Structure 1
Amino acid sequence: MKQSVGRPAPGNGARVSAPLLDPSVRRVALVRLRVGLGDLLCSGPALRLLRAARPDLHVTLVTWAEMAPVVERLGGVDELLAFPGAEGVPERPPDPAGWAPFVAAATARRFDLALQVYGDRPAANRVTAALGARLVGGFAPTGWDPPAGTGHLHLRYPVHLHEAQRHLRLFAHLGLSEAAAPPLHFPIGVDDEAAAAALLARHGLVPGHYAVLHPGASAATRRWPAARYAAVGDALAADGLAVVVTGVAGERDVAAAVVAAMRTPAVDLTGATGLGGLAALLRDAAVLVGNDTGSAHLAAAVGGRSVTVFLPGDPVRWAHGGPRHRALAADVPCAPCPHLVCPIDFRCADSVRPADVLAAARELVP
């Protein structure tokens, strides 16, 4: 089969009213073609709900191989089937040579049910249909209609729900109850605790007495300016908190700009933590101030406190509620928007004031 697949072939849509509870459904593929930490963390509650309801199910997550370290910690997933990319899936360029082996590996697993849990893109439905499952369903993107006879296996993509709630809503549509939905969760292991404790000791940091700034993000339009982070950092330092700057190794320049703009010293731990170590660091922080990116979701998943700055991002979809979290969104007519590069003047960055972010952080600091 060519890598660029056509419209989904109809699966065997023989009426199954609640496929996730049907005992004949034993092997399930979930097509989640995202590369973000937050994307997968927001899938976690639905995955754990499914595992609690059907511990006998073998669940395969179809996603990018690089997400394995996150998938291993999610719970509710038995294996990862590496996705080679496909036309219409923008996260990574497709690998045409990998498509036939991928389809062969999927077909060999003889899935009873394959679900598109990616989002609002028909390309993901084409990938889902190509897995050869007996039943095919999941999200029905805007403007896309399910193949005849499979409408009951699909849910029109719920645009105006939080990302975690979308997955719970789909699974409820397919037979589960949302009433017992677990919260976001990320397990922190013994090795993670030891690594974080050593890092804190090395830099003289005390749990509960430091603030974390996370100024990086995958897209430039999601990065609140360094000078504004520096202003917040200086004010928190004046309040008596140590200031830590975090990020992945590729964000060292972004972090360095914040540190250089601060009048007070900061501890730059960019690239110095593993995923579990970062989780422990965020859990024990007085507060995290960051962009709409994975660190905010990680803080929520480990019970930390967070202030998240939303520029083009949609807080309805991505902000976490509750007393330990605050979201500040751009107050401009063009937000939210999908742009990775602003086509005008990045006015959303100017609309979020350091004074407001600082006030939100101070509300959360114990």
Structure 2
Amino acid sequence: MRVLIVKISALGDVIHALPTLAWLKSIDPSIEIDWLVEEGFAPLLEGHSLLRKVHRLGLKRWRRQGFLATLKGIRQTIIDLRQENYDMVLDLQGNCKSGIFTLLAGASQRFGFARDGVREWPNLLATNRKVALTPADHHVSDRSLAVARAAFPEGKTALLAGPMNVSPEASATVQRQLTELDLDRQPLVVLQYGTTWTTKLWPLECWQELAGRLCDDYRVRPILLWGNDTEKQACIAIHRATDGRAIIWPRGSLPELVALLQKADLVIGGDTGPIHIAAAVGTSTISLFRVTDAERNGPRGDEHICLQSPLDCSPCLRKDCERDAECGKSISVSEVFRSVCVLLRGDK
């Protein structure tokens, strides 16, 4: 049996879909599983012990090259997929883009979401096994598992997150960096300031205060992650607020980010990819939810604490809001720090 998973993007969504791998392999370890994903996220999956092959999709790159390049790239991807002779496709994306590849991959069985679960209705034309979601499938990982369960109801392993492989080479690189910074003899706390939406951000002054308290009360030097120039400037401001004690981590490869998060004792951030990576590699997290729903997106388990804004309008899914400042400060530094004490010290 050869199965293709179609989950193209985004970073957090790809991570949330990982439990489907363990579910399929719990039925029959000989099942061959491939994954179609946007090439920027492929390093997360390449080398995974439960995957046979990762198909890189270069849609963003092709679009920059023009219309003809996009058509050529899509055509070649479809040719490559059809040569694999898939028995089944699991479309875990549910939009038009994923539907094209699901329909044309050549598999006789094409599982996907029913009308209540698709993101874009034309996706319904691509699948011939439609899975209706129930209230029990509220969490985004459970949505993907619902499709896997419909295709393989005899599965036994339903993980809350992961599994995710950590590259030995990346792990060695990160360990050398930690040793050079003398960070391998203290609790390792990682702070992820950035998110994709401004309405998901926790205020910069809150991050500055939290980083200062970590330095003063725990004598740790928190690591600051960044992914673009705006986030780097925020990290510089946090670094300065701690008199240089917080460390601005150099931007590395995606496998190196995974390795760093696996080595951390605690990762703190909003509803964003690194938080979900941390959960997938077994690291404790504190996640801050403002406009998105912690019950739908948040890491699950005793080693994770999700803090939802107490405002009556949260979660609202708005990318712009006149109450943005109020919402950001509705999750207090004291509340986050208490959560740090619970996870690092075991306080109740």
- Shorter-chain TM-score range: 0.7 to 0.9
Give unpaired runs (5+ residues) of structure 2.
61-65
Structure 1, unpaired ranges of 5+: 1-25, 87-92
Q: For residues 110-145 of structure 1, what are the alpha-carbon distances to aligned partners after superposition, in whole Å with 9 as ceiling and x for unaligned?
A: 3222221114x3553354223232222222242759
* TM superposition shift of 1:177: 3.7
Cα–Cα, structure 1 residues 108 and 267, in superposed 2: closer, same or farther, change >3 Å?
Answer: same
Q: Contact 2:78/2:101 (CA < 8 Å) preserved in 1? A: no
SS of structure 2 residue aligned to 1:316: helix
Any idea what SS the aligned residue of 2:17 has? helix
Q: Which of the numbers 165, 168, 179 marks the counterpart of 2:145?
A: 168
Structure 2 residue 39 is the aligned partner of structure 1 residue 60: no
CA distance, structure 2, for counterparts of residue 238 and residue 355 of structure 1: 14
Q: Give CA deviations for 1:153-189 in whole Å, capped at 9, x if unaligned.
A: 2212457522222222221122244542245232234
Q: Deviations over 1:293-346 (max 9, x none)?
A: 12212221222221111122221122122221111112223332334x314341
Shift of 1:191: 2.3
* Number of matched pairs: 329
Q: Is the counterpart of residue 98 in structure 1 residue 73 in structure 2?
A: yes
- SS class of match (2:306): strand
SS at match of 1:33: coil
Given candidates 43, 51, 58, the residue that maps to 1:77 is: 51
Deviation sequence 1:333-364 (CA, Å, 0-9, x none): 3332334x314341421221111111111111
Q: Percent of counterpart pairs with the same letter?
A: 22
Equivalent residue for 1:154? 130
Task: Give the C-alpha shift of residue 215 in structure 1.
Answer: 0.5
What TM-score do you get using the length of structure 1 for normalisation? 0.79
| Secondary structure of the structure 2 residue equivalent to 1:137 | strand
SS at match of 2:113: strand
Distance in 1, Cα, partners of 2:258 & 2:82:
37
* Aligned residue number for residue 63 of structure 2: none
- Counterpart of 2:328 (choices 349, 354, 358) is 349
1:217 is paired with a residue whose SS is coil
**C-alpha distance in 2, partners of 1:130/1:352?**
46
CA distance in 2, matches of 1:122, 1:140: 14
Residue 161 (structure 2) pairs with residue 180 (structure 1):
no
Report the counterpart of residue 8 of structure 1 in structure 2.
none
| Distance of aligned partners of 1:350 and 1:136 in 2 relative to their CA distance in 1, 3 Å threshold | same
Paired position in structure 2 for 1:133: 107
**8 A contact 1:255–1:270 mirrored in 2:** no
After superposition, the Cα gap between the structure-2 partners of 1:127 and 1:333, relative to the gap in structure 1 and judged at 3 Å, is: farther
Hey, what's the Cα distance between the residues in 1 that align with 2:103 and 2:55?
Answer: 15
Q: Which has the higher helix share?
A: 2
Q: Tell whether 2:25 aligns with 1:51.
A: yes
Tell me how large the CA RMSD over aligned residues is. Answer: 2.9
Instruction: Name the structure 1 match of 2:314.
Output: 335
Cα 1:365–1:299, aligned 2, differ >3 Å: closer, same or farther? Answer: same
TM-score by length of 2: 0.83
